[in-house]
Amino acid sequence: MRMKMFGGVACMFGAMTAACGPADNDPVEDSAQGAQSEDALPSDEDDEESPHLRYTQQLSVSRVFTLDPAGPNPFFFAKSRVKYAWSKLTRGSNGVCLSIDTRRLEPGAYTTWFRVFNDPDACSHPDPAGAQCSRLDIPACQAAGTCSVLWVTGTIVGIDGKSHVSACLDEGEMPGFVFFGGGLTDAQGAEIHAVMKHHGDAAFSVSNPADQARLGRQVSRPGGNCEAMPGDTLTACPDLQVTYHGVN
């Protein structure tokens, strides 16, 4: 059995306690450090009834962070930990599944994006929260063809600011909009960042086709609903939260 320890928190599958998942009495809620854990699990390759079980060979748990809007690189790095918010990533031989339970989000529509660094050892700009790679590594890995940024899911957040999102990604799969790259090519070795992008108030209407179309863009496109904001740029739909899952 393998167990990894990050930021002073260790978790084993079969012993998921408050230290490993969301709970109001989280004993490490004031820590500003990232935390991940990983444990090898039995393979379920022969279980044909539940295909997603093939992703449960390894499990890691990580904190969720806000992104720093300040310069010189707005939204490039983690700023502070979101209390009682966690993400879980399971890895298999050919794909990954991620779930995020978070809070303190602005109400409205969101997209969730994977930044996939298939060769994290080539990164040279770590994030202060503990990730081996950051957005500053993207130009080099994009040129080398070893990273990708792509849409994985969308959601709507209510006035309580809480959200649960989940998505699976197979190697080579492109489920939606792709900024660049070929997606996931190394499920076992890739560092994966999941970013939640805010698209403003959700445009919802049971009778207005224009609003219905806008809502579809808000949960599936990088600039969805930014046309309602000055400039219609990606920075008008800010990245508000991020979670990191490395392999080291």
DSSP secondary structure, 221-247, as one string: STTTTGGGSTT--GGGS-EEEEEEE--
Of residues 236 and 19, the one with the higher pLDDT is 236
Mean pLDDT of 191-215: 88
- What sections of the chain are H helices per DSSP? 138-144, 209-218
Domain boundaries, the chain: 62-245
Of residues 137 and 216, the one with the higher pLDDT is 137
pLDDT tens profile 17-71: 333 344 444 433 333 334 444 444 344 444 444 445 555 578 999 999 999 988 8
Q: If pLDDT is split at 50, 70 and 90, which confidence band does 213 have?
A: confident
pLDDT tens profile 79-105: 999 999 999 999 998 999 999 999 999
Residue carrying the six token digits 């009682």: 84
pLDDT at 228: 54
Cα–Cα distance for residue pair 62/246, rounded to 1 Å: 9
Cα–Cα distance for residue pair 52/138, rounded to 1 Å: 30
From its phi and psi, is residue 14 left (phi > 0), alpha (psi between -120 and 50) or beta? left
Tokens of residue 198, six digits: 């805010």
224's CB contacts (< 8 A; 6+ apart) are 109, 111, 199, 214, 216, 217, 218, 237
For 176, phi then psi, to 5°, come to -165, -145
Of residues 216 and 82, the one with the higher pLDDT is 82
Tokens of residue 225, six digits: 């609903």
pLDDT at 168: 96
Read off the pTM.
Answer: 0.76
Residue carrying the six token digits 């063809």: 145
Q: If pLDDT is split at 50, 70 and 90, which confidence band does 186 have?
A: very high
Q: Which of 35-49, 124-138, 209-223 has the highest mean pLDDT?
A: 124-138
